[in-house]
Amino acid sequence: MARILLIRFSALGDVAMTVPVIYSLATQYPQHQFTMLSRSAFEPLFRNMPANVDFVSFYATDRHKGLLGLHKLYSELAAMHFDYVADLHDVLRTKLLRLRFALSGIPTAHIDKGRSGKKALVRKDNKCFQPQKSSFHRYADVMGQLGFPLNIQFTSIYPEGEADASLIAPIVGSKAAGTKWIGIAPFAKHDGKIYPIELQEQVVAHFAGRNDVRVFLFGGGAKEKAVFDGWIAKYPTVVSLIGKLNMELELNLISHLDVMLSMDSANMHLASLVNTPVVSVWGATHPHAGFMGWNQQTSNAVQLDLPCRPCSVFGQKPCYRDNYECLRQITPSQLIDKLETILTK
């Protein structure tokens, strides 16, 4: 039996994208032990893995902070006697860790992020508008370098398809027969990914007016709470989940949704882990960069064909046109129609 360490510290969406890969590794190589090293907050993503997967927490702000903290982390990991190390992040911290392992004779491999191809995809002039390899397959390539070729086969972290509904019923109630549940995650880290809030409200209002639909709002933080509180005041049937669910219960609830409306953000990936269809909204970013959710349909990606798109891999760059027309020109009816189509399947 070989012991394989996989490392990805952040961000939530990127860590979530490791799940189909690690799940596939565990099922295709049941004779080996796989250990995921990531931030402790992300541990719930890995609780429903096969028995040959475990999780080790990285504490960036205290125990493992700075060079001394990384030295301590390496000492803790070295005591676990890993045979291989897969760096799925390739940032300064992980480079230092894998160097220590390599110097001790442990085979290591790291992700090729495809920066040149992504740079050509988002440049302002002479774009090379070609799909880039997905992060899922970039992660799988790392394992191939270590001698573990992989065919990614994954449906959901829940073997039965959905989680135990009784665990969330005391908080959100039970799903009545004939009722459809929609999740709406209207925010993202960067403005280039956020569909205008006043337009998103029209989508919320449409479904809040239906007796056979229940709308759940996903988000966090004071700014998002203020928006949600305003919506709930107008549409009392809508439910904000801020402060109500931990990540484990949030995944549980998402598994019972009929559809999720999400930006190009972590919620798209959380829904993908529980096989919930997502209508995703793309502005400054584009699915061609390789960050579409696992098994999500590109036909459910709502986006405009503008010559300036995409202008950013992660959505953080200023808009060339200063107005994010790539998002503002998407009409609420486009999103409503996509959601309605999935609800009627």
pLDDT band with cut points at 50, 70 and 90 for residue 79:
very high
137 with 45, same domain: the answer is yes
pLDDT in tens, 316-329: 999 988 899 999 99
Mean pLDDT, the chain, as a whole number? Answer: 97
> b/e for 201-220, b at 16 or more Cβ within 10 A?
bebbebbbeeeebbbbbbbe
Residue after which a domain boundary falls, among 145, 160, 191:
145
Cβ burial of 130 (10 Å; 0-12, 13-18, 19+) is exposed
Span 203-224, average pLDDT: 97
Q: What's the structural domain count of the chain? A: 2
Residue 87 lies in a domain: yes
pLDDT band with cut points at 50, 70 and 90 for residue 287:
very high
Give which of 65, 64, 55, 66 is closest to 5, Cα–Cα: 55
Span 255-262, average pLDDT: 98
20 with 92, same domain: the answer is yes
Position 94 scores a pLDDT of 98
Span 251-276, average pLDDT: 98
Position 160 scores a pLDDT of 83
Residue 165 lies in a domain: no
Q: Please give the model's pTM, rounded to 2 decimal places.
A: 0.97
191 with 332, same domain: the answer is yes
CATH assignment at residue 65: 3.40.50.2000
Query: For tokens 């966090």, what's the residue?
Result: 220
Position 84 scores a pLDDT of 98
pLDDT band with cut points at 50, 70 and 90 for residue 161:
confident
pLDDT in tens, 17-74: 999 999 999 999 999 999 999 999 999 999 999 999 999 999 999 999 999 999 999 9
Residue 38 lies in a domain: yes
The first and second tokens of residue 227, run together, are: 């928006």
232 with 107, same domain: the answer is no
Position 120 scores a pLDDT of 98
Domain residues for the domain of 247 are 170-343
Share of the chain above pLDDT 70, in %: 100
Residue 313 lies in a domain: yes
CA 278/CA 260 separation, integer angstroms: 5
Share of the chain above pLDDT 90, in %: 98
98 with 203, same domain: the answer is no
pLDDT in tens, 126-156: 999 999 999 999 999 999 999 999 999 999 9
Please, what is the end-to-end C-alpha distance for the chain in angstroms? Answer: 45
Q: Cα angle at 251 between 246 and 253, to 5 degrees?
A: 95
Span 276-304, average pLDDT: 98
Position 265 scores a pLDDT of 97
